[in-house]
Amino acid sequence: MVFAAGLGTRLYPLTKDRPKALVELNGVTLLETVIRRITDAGIHHIVVNIHHFSDLMKQFIATHPFDAEVLISDETDLLLDTAGGLKFAEPFFQASDHILLHNVDILSNIDLKKLIDSHLQSGALATLAVRERTTSRYLLFERDTMRLCGWENVKSGEKRVEIPMQHEYPLGFSGIHVVRRDILDHIPAGQKLSMTPLYVDLAARYPIQGYLHQHDDWMDVGKYEDVVNLLS
């Protein structure tokens, strides 16, 4: 599933007349770039959630061939954030045991096959791509096991620890993750909810694993200045 329903406020004025997913880098939209990365990993059943400029998104997907069946989860009436959006798209995943989740504004050369294999081998409820980087909000892992134990907002001073840690390892979330389909049972329907607090809520009861990809190229292009710097 590609999370593409965001308003793209931080990308304005690039999103003045289009959704964030259709912002172009070197003539290729963010949506195309992410879908190609996913299909290259062998996934050919893809759900894209939409909200902002939803008609443009529908038209683009209908007129651009992809090496995949691309289905639309239409959140035009209510933007539900990532966890809420995943729950809303539940009918599309009835035949799926595991779901790859990818933010549309993330550019990376992470090996998605290795991420998926790590998830399958671990048996975790969810596996999150993470890396050492400076951010205002960190996921906290036990360094030896890479199990998610908590969360910290260094700006506000808020910190949640669900599992005591011997060697705390703060890491930035990379916006790419794999979940077992049964995580849907833990998401309330019709509510706006992000995946990050959901993971922290579930961490004490279910294994949520971190997948460290420190040496991969990675960029969040969710802000206007990020795109300008990338093109300059």
Q: Span 199-208, mean pLDDT?
A: 98
In which element (H, E) is residue 117 found?
helix 112-122
Read off the DSSP letter of residue 94: T
pLDDT on residue 210: 98
Amino acid at 130: V
Alpha-carbon distances of 45 from 84, 94, 132, 181, rounded to whole Å: 20, 12, 31, 15
The per-residue pLDDT for range 26-40, each reduced to its tens digit, is 899 999 999 999 999
Within 8 A by CB and 6+ apart from 174, the residues are 106, 108, 110, 128, 129, 130, 131, 213, 218
| Residue 232 pLDDT grade (very low, low, confident, very high; cuts 50, 70, 90) | low
Asked whether the predicted pLDDT for residue 12 surpasses 70, the reply is yes
Domains present along the chain, CATH in parentheses: 2-231 (3.90.550.10)
The per-residue pLDDT for range 100-148, each reduced to its tens digit, is 999 999 999 999 999 999 999 999 999 999 999 999 999 999 999 999 9
Alpha-carbon distances of 82 from 10, 91, 175, rounded to whole Å: 17, 16, 10
Amino acid at 47: V
Q: What's the pTM value of the predicted model, to 2 decimals?
A: 0.96
CA dist., res. 187 & res. 35, Å (int): 25
